Structure 1
C-alpha cells in the first residue's frame, strides 16, 4: 500500500520537516516585525493659496508653491483680507497648489518607484461664519490638474499627467455650546474627500493644482474655506524592498516542490484525483502570486501593476477558499462517492459569487482610475449604491462559505471520533499506525483553521493599512501590520509547501499497517481513488463494513 507521504513518512523525518517549516514561518513574522518599517507612509501637505491675476484665468498655466517660479501667495481667504479687498480677488482667481513630496528640514525630497503607488485625499478646514454657513448636502465641483517633473528638468517645466473636474459631496458637522449655539470662528469637522490615486510613481516630483470654479448649482453653501490639506499615502520604500525580496526567495522554493509534486503524480499508474488536481492548481496560483514582476517597476512605468497585483491576489484567494472546501470534503470519510467536483457546487458557488463581486468592484474603481486617477466610484449616488451592493453580496457569500466550511469540518471530526471505536479490535501495530494517522490529520486540520483565521485578519489589516495604523505604544519598534503582512504571506507559502510535500504520492509501503503478518484482519488501504485508496479513507470504509 503506497498512499501519500504524510501516511508513510517516519515520525523523525516528519518532526524535522515540521520544525524547518516552523522556523521559516517564525522568521517571516520576525522580518516583518523587527526589520521591515510600516507598510505605508502618510504625509500631509498644506495647500499654498495662489492668486492667478487677470480677468480670464488660464487653466493651462501651472501654479507652483515654491521655487523661483512660485506663484503669488495669499495668507488668508477670509473676506476681510486686505489683499483680497484691494485687488478684488474672486473665487475663480484662487488656486490651491500642492508640490509632492513636501520639503523636509530644508531639503527637497523626491518620489521613488519604490513607493509603488500614491493615494491622496483632501482635508478641508472650514470656518463657521453666521453669514456663510455650510448648507445641507452641498456638492463641490473640484477642478484638478496633476503634473510631473523629473530631476534635471527646468524648474518650471511641468508636464500634464491628468486633469478632470469631479463632483464631491461635502459632509460636515460642528459642535454646539451649552446654549445650543455655534460660536463664530469655530471649525467644522468635515469628511475627507478623495483626490486621486496613481499606481505608478515613475517621476521625481508631482504638482497638483486645485480650483473651486463658480457654478450655478455647485460650490454653493460650502462655508468659509480657510485651508485645504492634501494627505498622501504611499507604500514605504524600505517595506517594498523587504516584500519583493521575500517574494523572490519564495518563488523558486514553491515552484520546485510544485514540479516535484506533479512529477510524483505522473509516475503513478492512475490519473490524478480531485484533491491532487486542486492542490496543484493552488500551487500554481501561489507561484503566480510569488512571481516578483514588481521589480520591473523600478525601471519601467507600469501604471496597471497595482490592478494586476490585486487580480493575482484575488485569484489566489479564490483558489485557497476552494481548496479548503475540497480538502475538507475529501476527508469526511462517509459512504458518499467523492472525487467529483460537482459534489461541491453549493460550496464553490459562494466562493465564485464573492470573488466575482469583488472583481467587478475592483474593475469599477481601479480599472477606471487607469484612465482617470481622480475618479471615485463613491462620489456619485448610483456608484456608491452599486459599490455597496457588491460589498454586501461579497460579505454574504463569505458568511455562507464559512458556515459551509465549519459544518464540513465538524462532520470530519465527528466521523473520525466515530471510527476510532473500531481501533480496540485491531492488532497492536495496526492500531498504533492508525492512531498516528488520525493524530497527523487532526493536526493538519487545525493548521488549516489557523491559516484561515490569519487570512481573515490579513484581509482586515490590509484594508486598514492605508493610514498610519500602529497598535500599542508609539515608541514600540515592532510594527504589527508589517509583521502580519510578511508573516501571513509566509504562512501561505509554508502551508502550501507542506501540503505539496506531504500529499504527494509515496513510493514506500506503510509498514505499520502490514507489520502483523499473522493477523487475519482485512488489508486496509488509503485514497479516494478506486485504484489506490488513502489509508485513513480505507480505515473508515473498513470500520463501516465491520
Structure 2
C-alpha cells in the first residue's frame, strides 16, 4: 500500500475532503429528517365478529353491500345461541375508501386479544392459542376474492392480570402481549381480507379465557419513505460502483500484483454496491415475496465484508508481522465472521424463507422452535463477541507497535521514516473515521429509542427515525467511498514507478560511459523491493 493517495495528499486537501464528507453526511440526515416521512405506519383494525353457521369456506366481509351477519358483543342474546366454532373474525385491509400500494413494500400483522377475567374461565399458564387463518386479495372492489394463503397455526398466549383474581375484579381485562400473526414480503394487491377462527373442542383453545374482541395491527412501510429510500440507493449505486472500478483500475496499473489489503477493499466496494442496487424499482411491478429475505442477505454480505476488512487492515499494519499478505494468517477471525454469518443466514431462512409459502408461519410459535432460534442467536452472538475481542486485541497490538516505532523514528533513515509515518497516519485516520461512524450509529440509535419518532422545530417536523435510517445508510456509503479514494495508489507514485522503469530500460540499452549508482527502496506493509543499477549519463 505504499504510495497511497493519503500519503501524498496535503493536509489542506485532506481537510477539504473531510469537509465535503461532513456536508454529504449532513445532507443524508436532513433528507430523512425533513423530506421522508416516518419509515413505517401501524394501523389498528377491530375484527368484525361474523356468523358462519354452515362453516362454509366462503369469504366473509366486515362491511359493504355483501357484509356478513354480525354480532357486536358476545353478551348479545344471539351470541349465546351461536356455537363458538361458527364465529369468524373478519378484517379488511385497508380501511374503507383507501387501498394498499406496492410502495408499502411489505406488510406485517400482529394480533391483540381483549380477554376479560372470569373466575370460572381464567387464562391458564403457558397456554397455546390455535388460529385457523385465511388470507385473500383482490384489485377491484367488484371482483371476487382470490384465496392467497390458508393455514392453522399455534401461538403462545402470554397475559398478566395486574390486580387480584377475585369476583370483584371480574370483567376487567388482562394485559396480553401482541401475538405475531403474519408477514408478507410484497404488497402487490390493493385489498386484503383476513378471516380467522378460534376453533374450540376438548383439546383445542382450552384455557384461553373469555375473549371479547380481536384486534389486528397492520404494519407497513410508508410509500413516501420508500420513494426517498429508493432514490438514495439510485444515487449511491453508480457512485460506489464507478469508484470501485476506478480503484481496481488504479491497482491494475501497478507493476506488482495486488496485495491482500487491496483485494479486500475491492470486495468491500463490491459488497457496498450489492447493498445499494435499487431492486425495489422492479419490485413495484412484480409480486416478489422474497424481497425481505433478499434485503437481509444484502446487509449480511456488506457487514461480513466490513468485518473482514477491519481484521485484515489491522493485521496488515502489524508492521513487524512476518506472515503478512496471506489470508491464512487470519483464518480464525475470518472463520468467526463466516460462521456467525452462516448461523444468522440459516436462522433467517428458517423464518423468512418459510414465509414465501406460508406468511402465517413463525419459528417462535412452538417451544422447540423457540429454543432452536434462541440457540442460533446465542451462537451467533458468541461469534460476534469473539470477533470483536480479537479485533480489540489486534488494534491494541498495532497501537503498541506504533508507539515503539514512534520512538525509533528519529534514528531511522529518511525513506524508512517517511514509510512508517505514512503507515501510522493511515491507520490512525481510518480508526478515527471508523470510531466516528460507530459513535454516530450509537447516538442515532439512542435518540431514536428515547424520542417519539419525530420532533417539532418551529413550523418543521423532524422525523428522527427516518433521519436515523438515511443518516446511517449515507454514512456507510461515505465511509466505503473514503476508504477506496484515500487508499488508492497515487498518480505521483505511478509516475515515479514509470520513471524508474524508463531508467532501467536505459541501463540495458545504452553503453556505460559514466557510472551512477541508483537505488530505489519501496517498502510497503507486505513487501520490500530493492533495485540497484548503473545508469549511463551522456
Both proteins in one fold, TM over 0.5: yes
Residues 176 and 182, structure 1, Cα contact 8 Å, conserved in 2: no
- The reply to whether residue 529 of structure 1 matches residue 526 of structure 2 is yes
Q: Indicate which of 117, 121, 138 corresponds to 2:127.
A: 138
Q: Tell me which of 261, 265, 269 is aligned to 2:247.
A: 261
Structure 2 counterpart of 1:281: 267
Q: Which residue of 1 aligns with 2:92?
A: 99
Q: Paired residue for 1:447?
A: 433
The whole-number CA distance in structure 2 between the counterparts of 1:433 and 1:369 is 55
- Pairing partner for 2:151 from 149, 157, 164: 164
* Greater length-normalized contact order (CA 8 Å, ≥ 6 residues apart): 1
CA 1:182–1:250 in 2, change beyond 3 Å: closer, same or farther? Answer: farther
Give, in angstroms, the shift of residue 342 of structure 1. 0.8
Matches for 1:236-251 after TM superposition, within 5 Å: 236-251=222-237
What does residue 47 of structure 2 align with? Answer: 47
Q: Of residues 154, 157, 163 in structure 1, which corresponds to 2:142? A: 154
Report SS of the residue matched to 2:195: strand
Gap regions ≥5 residues in structure 1: 512-521, 534-546
Change (3 A) 1:52 1:474: farther
Shift of 1:401: 1.0
Distance 1:391 1:437 in 2: 38
Cα distance change on mapping 1:510 and 1:256 into 2, 3 Å: closer
More strand by share: 2
What are the equivalent positions in structure 2 for 1:371-450 lying under 5 Å apart? 371-425=357-411, 438-450=424-436
What is the alpha-carbon distance in structure 1 between the residues aligned to residue 261 and residue 384 of structure 2?
22
**Alignment partners' CA distance in 2, 1:138 and 1:27:** 51
Q: Which residue among 109, 123, 126 is the counterpart of 1:120?
A: 109
Where does residue 337 of structure 1 map in the other structure? Answer: 323
In structure 2, stretches of 5+ residues that fail to align are 496-518, 531-538
Query: Structure 1 residues 229 and 62, CA, compared in 2 at 3 Å: closer, same or farther?
Result: same
Tell me the C-alpha RMSD between the 2 structures. 2.7
* Match in the other structure for 1:10: 10
Tell me how far apart the structure 2 counterparts of residues 326 and 427 of structure 1 sit (CA, whole Å).
Answer: 28
Count of aligned pairs: 505
Report the CA distance shift for 1:182/1:507 in structure 2 as closer, same or farther (over 3 A): farther
Is 1:67 aligned to residue 64 of structure 2?
A: yes
From the superposition, tell whether residues 118 and 299 of structure 1 become closer, same or farther in structure 2 (CA, over 3 Å): same
Name the SS for the 1:478 alignment partner. strand
Is the 8 Å Cα contact of residues 145 and 162 (structure 1) preserved in structure 2?
yes
Which one of 452, 455, 475 corresponds to residue 491 of structure 1?
A: 475
TM-score, structure 2 as length reference:
0.88
Structure 1 residue 524: Cα displacement:
6.1
Structure 1: how far apart are the matches of 2:120 and 2:303? 54
Q: Which moved more, 1:427-436 or 1:88-97?
A: 427-436
The 5 Å alignment of 1:221-232 reads 221-232=207-218
